[in-house]
Amino acid sequence: MTIVRKGLFGISTLSAALAAALLQAQTLAPAGPAATVATDAPEEQATPEAVDDTAAFQAWLVEFRAEALTRGIRAQTLDAILPTIEQQRRVIQADRAQAEFVETYADYLERVSPRRIEMGQALFAEQGAMLEAASAPYNVQPRFVAAVLGMESNYGTFPITEPLFNVVATLAFDSRRGEQFRAELFAAFEIVDKGYATPEMMKSSWAGALGAPQFMPGSYLRLAVDQDGDGRRDLWNMGPDVIGSVANYLQSTGWQENQTWGRVVSLPPGGEQSLPEPQNEGLDPDATCRRYTTMGAWRDLSDWQELGVRKADGTDLPTRPLAAALIIGDEGDDKGYLVYRNFCSLLRYNPSFKYALGVSLLSDAIAGVED
């Protein structure tokens, strides 16, 4: 057996032995959020609790099969995959230790590294026309599409090797987000049942996301596009389908082509404590932004100017009438980020301020935006 692994500009094949070695070598903290989890931990002991849990998991799979049949998934598909599914407790450990939860802003944003910036610029240098053409129908600036791919999978070069059905079934059985991942497991079976991908193609990160853009299975069904018209929605190989699908995802969240994400700002003395206020103390944000209440109050740029907020270099904020919310990073660094409506679209891709800032700053760096 060979396993296909996508490079930045081409395809390479890995032998099964080499692929297994790569899987063993992965850590919990790869370059980007498309993380796999380490598999070189000591083998779990078969404690009575683990045996009971395994029995419950197998019973849960039996019940899942019955419901899947009522949803129209063929028995042939279910019976080819369900017996291969194994519970992966290390996936639960990774779920509880996501970098967005445990790292500081400064540490997390080190992902916007010189190497990642260079790779994004190389992508534009070599495939800029394709990026522009595939993004244009969705009215999304291609630098943001590239930055999403840079953060998610290092532009499709990070090896995505976890068996998706193991990952998603484990997370569906878990209590933290069980219903969410149960729906994703049905979606994953639908992808295979309808012939969009083979079971062997269904590899994921520890979080159950697919391909270069790290779409969840449900997002694949709703938002992946056949941009090149070849009859397939291919998220596994860097090309028009990947670019168009990310752009379509962002457009579906209300992306505004005439805006950027926001900007880095400097705060007045004591601003970390005095400036944050509840969302209901400011302007009424649009529906997408309203769900993120911890962003606090939205104000016009002119109001932030009056409150002492300035560009990172200390000069005045733009005079354009735009609503913005203030994200404050690590305590004591006197740094903040005024974010605009498009920032909320990035949060729909991954609901973490740190992640959305990583994409935003990477997009600026790729394009050479300094302000």
Task: Collapse the DSSP code of 297 into the 3-class scheme (helix H, G, I; strand E, B; otherwise coil) and give the result.
Answer: coil
Provide, rounded to the nearest whole percent, the portion of the chain with pLDDT above 90.
75
Provide, rounded to the nearest whole percent, the portion of the chain with pLDDT above 70.
84
Q: Domains of the chain by range and CATH?
A: 48-94+160-230 (1.10.8.350), 262-339 (no CATH)
**Residue 27, pLDDT above cutoff 50:** no
**Residue 33, pLDDT above cutoff 70:** no
**Residue 50, pLDDT above cutoff 60:** no
Return the structure tokens found at 138. 């969705």
Task: Collapse the DSSP code of 298 into the 3-class scheme (helix H, G, I; strand E, B; otherwise coil) and give the result.
Answer: strand
C-alpha torsion sign, points 265, 266, 267, 268? negative
231-249 pLDDT per residue, tens? 999 999 999 999 999 999 9
pTM, entire model: 0.84
* pLDDT for res 91: 78
**Residue 298, pLDDT above cutoff 90:** yes
144-190 pLDDT per residue, tens? 999 999 999 999 999 899 999 999 999 999 988 889 999 999 999 99
* pLDDT for res 336: 95
User: Which residues in 182-215 are b (16+ Cβ under 10 Å) and which e?
Assistant: bebbbbbbbbbbeebbebebbbbbbbbbbbbbbb
* pLDDT for res 34: 35
Task: Collapse the DSSP code of 267 into the 3-class scheme (helix H, G, I; strand E, B; otherwise coil) and give the result.
Answer: coil
Cα(193)–Cα(185) distance, integer angstroms = 12
Name the residue among 282, 312, 321 with its Cα closest to residue 298: 282
